[in-house]
Structure 1
């Protein structure tokens, strides 16, 4: 999910859904947070910071000796995402467009994905063997 949300390796990504390649002010999630909170640093600076942390978490998850740290990093990122989803700044249902006339939302799909990613990160912390100490 982190790779899909940051660089979107597939062709023709949905507009407003890729952290690194959306134009400033076009990312739906971070622009919604910036608009509702009044803190303009969320878009684009916060978006790029979160994207870099997600890519670092991906790299750590790929390597067996850093996998637990990657799981911690992923749990922190998705935990923060859940916090924003439960706050009035973002909400559980994300608008599918930045057009103020549009009332269509994602139906909570991004919120559910954050829950699954958070649970998967915590599960990886439990099942991945740590360093055995004598």
Structure 2
């Protein structure tokens, strides 16, 4: 890790999870720290650990998707982001990540990629078009 603070935080979150496995935000934060410090494999592992306990805890899918994307697993990353978008279709950060990793799929059609870009535009750019200079 780059900082002593990150090491301390990792140990604190691990202890929290050990004593209270249902403290989902501890998994979320631990995965985020691992990913931020270039350990996508551990970030994905922590995310999977939480998903074994509660596959419906949507916030972890963002961290999981980012970790999977960093590992070159674009299909799985897209699936993780899609889980969030199914419940929260206007989530800008999630939709942006979903779009980004779709561009790395080897089996996506140009038409489908165009549709995803268009949907992003309609949801996140068009509402602000009137204020553009």
TM category, shorter: 0.3 to 0.5
TM-score by length of 2: 0.32
- Structure number with the higher helix fraction is 2
TM-score by length of 1: 0.32
Structure with more contact order per residue of length (Cα contacts < 8 Å, sep ≥ 6): 1
